[in-house]
Amino acid sequence: MLLQVLGTAAGGGLPQWNCACPGCTGARAHPERRRRHASLAVRVADGRWYVVNATPDIGEQIEATPELHPGPGARQTPLAGVVLTDAELDHTLGIARLREAHEGVDVLATPPVLDAVREGLRLDAVLGPYTPVRWRELSGGVGSPLDGRSSGAAGVSVSAVPLAAKKPRYAANHEDSSDSWSIALRLHEPATGRTLLYAPALAVWSDAFDEAARDADCVFVDGTFWDDEEPLRSGFSTRTATGMGHLPVNGPGGTARRLARLPGRCLYTHLNNTNPLGNPHAEQHKLLAEWGIEVAAERMVIEL
């Protein structure tokens, strides 16, 4: 399975346009620290790719990735569609940037997430006059072929591991309270037997997530906050990391200790601009190295 990391930052990116925190100021002074919104491209067949989450940076992310460049036809694109892990704005606003798609675009998500982007963000009505969006339901279980149009064996199959009922603020009053609002995405390539688990927002380490993580060859996990108090300390929130739906990396309830025990390769993504891991010289990197855990880098390529 071939993967291209398109971005590794939480909402706002690094630097965030209106933020003068040490992380954002550091990224302005040292451009190599800049991170785009968290996203990943996965190849499902030769010259055919899907992106996991469509961020506000999707246009620049495509430009920075030669495999996603258009051609040979004038408006021919290797980008077939988008798979969503949730309905948050940092993962969905990029769908609107795909309005120029000549042959339309697939958008796969769980039922409440589809409803939020179609009706809450009104993307169904707004994009309809520009390009056909094929909204497809993502389910759990064994998984379905990611490329719905391919005949024969699926290049990559996709399934959802439901995680939490965390709704985006714009959908706070939505009647659905199932744990399909925020999922881990399981991508499996039958030809190689390889499995990727992608969870940029991990609110709880459930038994189902634990099982999926043990089974995966590679796991991308929520690295939004280094510790639970970070959002409070930085002064931008009155909630803890856990209270915001993101298990922290470090500390008693942190994810690092659990990741260290997994058999597969583990990488943190979705780093908030307050996270000390955004600074390559931060001492926290030493701890992660001891645990054998990586921080996903911008434009990283992973051949699973």
Residues that bind ligand MLT (CB under 6 A): 10-11, 88-90, 201, 244-245
Give the binding-site size for Mn ion (rule: CB under 5 A).
Answer: 4
Closest distance to Zn ion from the beta carbon of 110 (Å):
31
Tell me, what amino acid is at 170? Y
Closest distance to Mn ion from the beta carbon of 222 (Å):
9
Closest distance to ligand MLT from the beta carbon of 92 (Å):
10
Quick one: which segment of 140-148, 173-181, 270-278, 295-303 binds Zn ion (CB under 5 A)? 270-278
Alpha-carbon distance values, 296 to 40, 41, 63, 277, 280 (Å): 11, 14, 19, 11, 12
Closest distance to Mn ion from the beta carbon of 88 (Å):
5
Burial of 253 (0-12, 13-18, 19+ CB in 10 A): middle
Query: Per CB under 5 A, does 271 bind Zn ion?
Result: no
Contact indicator for 131, 174 with CB cutoff of 8 Å: no
Select 10 or 105, whichever has its Cβ closest to ligand MLT.
10
Q: Which of 90, 147, 227, 228 binds Mn ion (CB under 5 A)?
A: 90
Residue 159: name its binding partner from ligand MLT, Zn ion, Mn ion, none (Cβ under 5 to 8 Å by kind).
Answer: none
Would you state the structure tokens that stand for residue 99, as one six-digit string? 């309005």
Query: Per CB under 5 A, does 277 bind Zn ion?
Result: no
The Cβ-side half-sphere exposure at 227, using a 13 Å CA radius, reads: 10
Contact indicator for 51, 72 with CB cutoff of 8 Å: no
Quick one: which segment of 45-53, 86-94, 160-168, 171-179 binds Mn ion (CB under 5 A)? 86-94
Nearest one of 53, 181, 37, 169 to 114, comparing CA atoms:
181
Would you state the structure tokens that stand for residue 30, as one six-digit string? 């040292």
Quick one: which segment of 4-12, 58-66, 71-79, 249-257 binds Mn ion (CB under 5 A)? 4-12
Q: d(Cα 119, Cα 204) in Å, to the nearest integer?
A: 27
Quick one: which segment of 75-83, 87-95, 250-258, 276-284 binds Mn ion (CB under 5 A)? 87-95
Q: Give the three-state DSSP class for 275.
A: coil
Q: d(Cα 163, Cα 288) in Å, to the nearest integer?
A: 24
- CA 97 to chain centroid, in Å, comes to 17
Would you state the structure tokens that stand for residue 143, as one six-digit string? 């998984």
Q: Which of 2, 11, 60, 126 binds Mn ion (CB under 5 A)?
A: 11
Residue 147: name its binding partner from Mn ion, ligand MLT, Zn ion, none (Cβ under 5 to 8 Å by kind).
Answer: none
Nearest one of 14, 31, 32 to 23, comparing CA atoms:
14
Query: Per CB under 5 A, does 19 bind Zn ion?
Result: yes
Closest distance to ligand MLT from the beta carbon of 183 (Å):
13
Binding site for Mn ion (CB under 5 A): 10-11, 88, 90
Binding site for Zn ion (CB under 5 A): 16, 19, 21, 23-24, 273
